[in-house]
Amino acid sequence: MRNIPYSFGHRKDTLAHAICGGYWHLYTQQAGRAVNFFEGVRQLPYGEEVYRTALALKVMTEAKTYEQIYKLAEKVEWPIDVNGPNLRLDVVRTLERLRLISQEAAQAQRSLSTLARSAALNRASGELTKLQQELDKVCPLPERNVIRAIIEQWRDPLALAGGEIGEIVLREPIKNPYVGFGGQPVVGEAFIGRENILAKIETLWTNPGSLPSLFVYGHRRMGKTSILRNLNRRHDPKTVLVLLDMQNAGSVDDTAQFYYEIGLEVYERTHQAGWLTVEDKPDEAGFNSMGLARRSLNILFSRLETTREQGAQRLIIAIDEFELIQERIRDGRIESEALNYLRSLTQKYNWLALIFGGLLTLEEMGKDYKAAFYGSSESIRVSYLSKTEAEKLICQPDPEFLLEYEPALVDELYHLTNGQPFLLQRLCWELVNTWNERFLSGGLSTERVLKLSDLETLMTDQFYQAADYYFSGVWGQVGPDERKVMRVLAQTGEQGLTVLELQQQLPQLENIADVIKKLKHRDVVSHNPTTDQIRFAAELNRRWVNRTQID
């Protein structure tokens, strides 16, 4: 390129002159003139690509302000296929990276969230810097010269816009990311941890043949419903999740209505996924009796067998609060045969999976559950979060979380909760709210660090009252003998007592080993086999009992 005479860049009387002149102008960073030269070669093989490349470089070169950069995402034609076939694929891919940077700027401009705008601009600036560092390796001459100039031209406007947004972020209170503070299920990016449980479920459902029914059980507010709601995160995107909450199905009066609830939910979700059409919607008249209802469900699942996409891995029916089915069986509202029928569907269709969430194991349920699922099911226990999972929930609840926790506070939060997810969410939610109140009065000088002293001010009667429905739920889940042990342990202190010491303080409990076993099973106490020490699994539970249940 260095040896081409200057006058050559003025001639386009032949195709050869036009091509060479166009590339000469790119080499000298005159993209606009290159467009004029390449206009005459568009009819040649790859001529359209060469022309549009020069046109994109021209428009990007003209973008000198932040507004012009983000408007490129709407302005520039981009019919070049980055997957080829291309004459100059490396150039096309480099231009695509510039286009994506422009799109990040456009997303920042559209977003109503200050944090989202800041994140988009940070991504744009970061990608621009990365491209600058890699440019000599990823993009050849002569286009590289023009692109290098574009990068230099875009850096300051993007950095300035990002700085302005960053200042706005620092002037606003923190959006509280602990969405599970009230005990509600957590879904999407806010769902942190439980990867081991999701992986185990995935493993159990990868074997050929009919899929085993799964029982996810654990003590109150451990995140069982959140696990059910996030099941499709680990599966093929075409997997359809149907969630049936028995707490919300309280109006079910008989087996036929129970079948109708299932059929309607299955239809709604599979219709959204494109497996079924409006004509397949279950007719309530087809569920007037148990016989008709079963026939209608058989037709629905038979239809799914023929219409579902073969690429779809499975249909998951998740039934939450499954103990309520057993209660309705005892009340005579649902026939026990319904459980056998559900199991038979999973045996007939190897793309159908059943998973139940609740407080009890299959062994603790009534004979109806055991008769239906014994030998063809697996139980998965949901217990406390590990320390690593708890620390991630505390410190990284959201990618855009702008507060830090001092290490002593993180340690104390885990010590008080033992990784109980609801208690962690509640405490962290309170801490962020407290910081926001301090920020509103102190302004930009407010230190963005949460400290152990912040937690100490929260440990009041008001906190225990706000979380009482959790503590009361744990208390109500155990019997009179278990409560006696809990009262003694609560008054003893954090260190707990040995089994022998408990026996000495509660001589009237002849079955104390069984009582301790039940409390361990409910995740209320833990047992150190080395010291034979029994203590509360979560320190906050002990403090609540000591505050409210001691005469």
Class of 387-459 per CATH? Answer: mainly alpha
Report the alpha-carbon distance of residue 301 to residue 429 in Å, rounded: 44
Residue for token pair 């660090």: 449
Q: How far apart are CA 413 and CA 428, in angstroms?
A: 9
Ramachandran class of 332: left when φ > 0, alpha when ψ lies in -120 to 50, beta otherwise: left
The three-point CA angle 81-84-86 to 5° equals 100
Domain boundaries, the chain: 6-170, 194-381, 387-459, 478-548
380: its two tokens: 């998965």
Just give the CATH number of 478-548.
1.10.10
**CB-CB contact of 49 with 29 (8 Å):** no
Element of type H or E holding 536:
strand 533-536
The answer to whether the CB of 490 falls within 8 A of the CB of 549 is yes
* Residue linked to tokens 């696990």: 227
> Which superfamily does CATH assign the domain made up of 194-381 to?
P-loop containing nucleotide triphosphate hydrolases (3.40.50.300)
Q: Are 454 and 516 in contact (CB under 8 A)?
A: no
Cα end-to-end span (Å), the chain: 94
As a whole number of angstroms, the distance between CA 190 and CA 538 comes to: 23
Q: Are 397 and 190 in contact (CB under 8 A)?
A: yes
Instruction: Give 243's strand partners.
Output: 318
Closest among 150, 152, 144, 131 to 1, alpha carbons compared: 144
Tokens standing for residue 451: 């400290």
Q: Which amino acid is at 497?
A: L
Nearest to 201 by CA among 188, 216, 187: 216
Cis peptide before 157 (omega within 30 of 0): no
- pLDDT tens for the chain, 551 residues long, are 455 554 555 666 788 888 888 888 888 888 888 888 888 888 888 888 889 889 899 989 999 998 999 888 766 555 566 566 788 888 988 998 998 999 999 888 887 666 677 778 888 988 999 999 999 999 998 999 999 999 999 988 888 887 666 555 555 778 899 998 888 888 888 898 899 999 999 888 887 778 899 999 998 889 999 999 998 877 667 789 999 988 776 567 889 999 999 999 999 999 998 888 999 999 989 999 999 999 999 999 999 998 887 655 689 999 998 888 888 888 888 888 888 999 999 999 989 999 999 888 777 777 777 777 877 789 999 999 999 999 999 999 988 788 999 999 999 999 999 999 999 999 999 999 999 888 877 776 688 899 999 999 999 999 999 999 999 999 999 999 999 999 999 999 999 999 999 999 999 998 999 999 999 999 999 999 999 999 999 999 999 999 999 87
